[in-house]
Amino acid sequence: MFDVNALYAAGAIMDWDQQTMMPKGGAAARAAHSGILSRMAHERFTSDETARLLEEATNEVALGTEDAALVRVVRRDFDQSTKLPSAFVEEKSRLSSEAHEKWVQARETDSFATFAPTLEQMFSLARQEADYYGWTGHRYDALLDCYEEGWTAVDVQNMFGTIREPMVRLVEEIRERGQSTDAVGLNGTWDNNRQRKFSEHLIHAIGFDTDRGRLDTAPHPFCTGWSVTDIRLTTRFKDMIGSAIFGSLHEAGHGMYEQGSPLAWDRTPLAGGVSLGVHESQSRLWENIVGRSLPFWRKFLPELHANFPNLAAFDVDTFYRMINQVEPSLIRVEADEVTYNLHILIRFELEMALLAGEMQVADLPEAWRAKYQQYLGITPETDKEGCLQDVHWSMGGIGYFPTYTIGNLLSFQIWRKLTEEIPNTDDLIAVGNFAPILGWLQDRIYRHGRYYTPKELVLQATGKPLDANDYLAGITAKYRSVYSL
């Protein structure tokens, strides 16, 4: 298994380098290298030798042990992997590497037409992949299961059906009766070096171990890693000061989860996040529930003022309302908490239509604009602000987006349980003492890696299966307070 892990790690390192440091001229060679490495890892993992060892281990391990959990995880990964031909794995990896560079260029030049042929290829491969896995309800089910074990498109539709109307009512209530909030003061020209240092200061303060990780920049923020001792975060600098700050806190949430696996499990299939929904719960918890809280900025606003004197005019209460402004916007990663899930709903519906052949890739820009008008009442003027804004489709991450909303719901469910057991969280955050919060999360979630299934972990950590109740209660209470409703 360590040989397979090393091959996957080499691929992850090359992907990180491609998104942060690689010169543009290296794209073709990088695509070829990525494809070959992916094929090699796949062939080694799905070999007859692996199958034999897995069968022997299955017959020897005792139920309820660490070894049994390892065998279960490897069995699922092996069963999934053996359904895919090695040539397909190589082709998808190669095309994903090429597609990323074409996406970056298309986004820079606001030219969807130059990316469309590649995106069509990506969705064609996604249909093939779903068919290799097998499905009965919708092709989407097979792809979603890779990211969130056991979930289907119907589950996602039911989830959105539960939260859509309450969120629409809350937005209407804010618009009609809420105390107005103007966040224009957060836009300006900010020194990138100071933004970087302040962001690094924040992620270190909340508990990201900078001896086992680092923060860099990329066109789209992400977290990756190849060992619990080497986790890489990225952020980006924009005219809105909160972009780097909250993007860094978000990725640090992912990073601390990855760093939290036991060192004894490092480079084994038990290490790392159990699902993307659980992973997203941690990035959203640290970004929004902690990072956009009033106590957090009681602690850090004076330091922000010292770094950016233009913001000194805003006291903590004003700044808190500014960073929690609810207003329909075009960019998903900078959307407010209340409207964020509508961005995910749009992507989910478009992915479903593209996979089913009900819509063609060439029609995506117009369909994107129509859905933004339908759900958010705004229309992007450019594709850079529209269907070219996310990196996921260029990576082949089709079926991925619903995990963001799963994470949003789960973050509040986890926080509800955490605050039952640590009732003075506001006091701790206000003085910058994040150790008890991180320690609770480490004990309940991080240290378990993939030992439990996602549903088992949620039940153990929160005392109940995932539902929307804590999210709806928490988000409604917060924003009624922010807007003095």
Q: Which residues pair with 234 in a beta bridge?
A: 216
* Spatial CA neighbour of 453 closest among 181, 217, 270, 190: 270
Closest CA to 298 of 195, 428, 124, 160: 428
Longest CA pairwise span in the chain (Å): 68
- Whether 172 is a known active-site residue: answer no
What is the edge-to-edge ordering of all strands in the sheet holding 213-217?
A: 213-217, 230-235, 223-227
The catalytically annotated residue of 148, 251, 337, 351 is: 251
Asked whether the CA dihedral 345, 160, 466, 444 is positive or negative, the reply is positive
In a 10 Å sphere around its CB, with 0-12 CB exposed, 13-18 middle and 19+ buried, how is residue 94 labelled? buried
What SS3 string covers 471-485?
A: HHHHHHHHHHHHCCC
- Do residues 183 and 323 touch, judged by C-beta distance below 8 A? yes
d(CA 2, CA 8): 10
The CA-atom distances, in angstroms, between 174 and each of 181, 294, 324, 458 are 10, 19, 12, 32
Residue count of the chain: 485
Q: Which of 193, 147, 160, 161 is nearest to 397 (CA)?
A: 147
Question: What is the CB neighbour count within 10 angstroms for residue 29?
Answer: 11
Q: Catalytic residues, which ones?
A: 251
